[in-house]
Structure 1
Amino acid sequence: MSVAKVTEIIAASTVSVEDAVRQGVKRASKTINGIQAVWVKDIKAAVAEGDITEWRCTLKLTFVIKD
């Protein structure tokens, strides 16, 4: 039997939503081992002068807890 844990992070990118998700998972994997899944809980964007300047994603990461 395995036990999983879910943790929530926020990641941002000036490029795209997909890039924010990828960068968030990449950064989290430096300190969290065994990430199995990511759920994009929320997407927001920062706007300046009528243009989107940054995409911000709230992510829930699922990882298995080791014995």
Structure 2
Amino acid sequence: MSKQKLKSHRINREWCKGCGICVAFCPKKVLELDREDKAVAVRLEDCIACRLCELRCPDLAITVETEDVPVPS
């Protein structure tokens, strides 16, 4: 059995229109909008790799990559 762990979290700033949907759906408040109204990951260490930001982004500007981590039995 394994658990998903964050490998990388990428935001394509050219595609991001700053709608804030990703910020609203993030359960751990990892994302914020910066001064240019673009999404930015400010607390990556809190990311649980749920992929809600990636799934909800209407511009497909977010990519979350995960890796399997074995769960001790």
TM-score normalised by the chain length of structure 2: 0.33
TM-score (norm 1): 0.34
Determine which structure has more spread, i.e. the larger CA radius of gyration. Answer: 1
**Of Structure 1 and Structure 2, which has the larger fraction of its residues in strand?**
1
